[in-house]
Chains A and B, each alone.
Chain A
Amino acid sequence: EAGVAQSPRYKIIEKRQSVAFWCNPISGHATLYWYQQILGQGPKLLIQFQNNGVVDDSQLPKDRFSAERLKGVDSTLKIQPAKLEDSAVYLCASSFFSGGLNTGELFFGEGSRLTVL
């Protein structure tokens, strides 16, 4: 079974430029998450999708960050304009939503490391 795919793995940009990250979840996983992980910290949820609808985007800085999951499969996270403090690893994860009780384990991609100069 293919895992969560993310690209690009690495990106270096100047502040005020824009960047986009792409994520393709595990086939059949209805729920998709974007997390931001700043160096030395734990992942912080930016946005969660259920199919193509937003479940939680309360921690997404909406003045500069946007995300979409148009067909309920792959997703794009965009930052425009980037700030120095956006330097982080952006992790995409997916999970299987059965509607009932299961572990709810999240499956993560390898992440996209962003450096803003």
Chain B
Amino acid sequence: AQKITQTQPGMFVQEKEAVTLDCTYDTSDPSYGLFWYKQPSSGEMIFLIYQGSYDQQNATEGRYSLNFQKARKSANLVISASQLGDSAMYFCAMREGDQAGTALIFGKGTTLSVSS
């Protein structure tokens, strides 16, 4: 079974609008971490936001927020006020366990296109 599922191959949004990128995960470990990375056409993976499984509040970082619904095992990324520079691939990833230094498992990604 897929550990990380991203069902939207591509999403389109206009500048200044908000967009939600979906991510569901599957783990039996009670401790885990969820990450979102951005990959522009240049290829580098850029860390955006992190949510720990025991965090009570949804994570936020500037225009990025993570809508964490533990019971549904979903960790959707919300980008508010989209900008042209947000056009990129977005990957959801999971670390099983609570130790740093554990490899991340990635989903297949969602391509976001922002138009003016």
Contact = CB atoms under 8 A, between A and B. Distances in A.
Is B a genuine binding partner of A? yes
Interface of A: 30-31, 33, 35, 40-45, 48, 50, 55-56, 89, 91, 93, 95-111, 113
Contacts of B91: 42-43
B29 interface: no
Q: Is the interface of A mostly helix, strand, loop or mixed?
A: loop
Given A104-B33, A108-B45, A110-B44, A43 B98 contact: no
A42 B98 CA distance: 22
A104 B43 contact: no
7 contacts: A30-B101, A42-B4, A50-B101, A91-B45, A99-B99, A100-B100, A104-B101
Nearest to B31: A101
Given A43-B45, A93-B45, A101 B109 contact: no
Interface of B: 4, 33, 35, 37, 42-45, 47, 50, 52, 91, 93, 95, 98-109
Contact of B100 (A45, A48, A98): A98
Given A93-B45, A105-B35, A42 B100 contact: no
Give 7 nearest A-B pairs by CB, closest first: A97-B101, A42-B106, A104-B100, A108-B45, A31-B101, A103-B50, A111-B43
Which of B35, B47, B98, B100 is packed against the most chain A CB atoms within 10 Å? Answer: B100
Nearest to B47: A105
B100 A113 contact: no
Nearest to B35: A105
Contacts of B42: 110
A108 B102 CA distance: 14
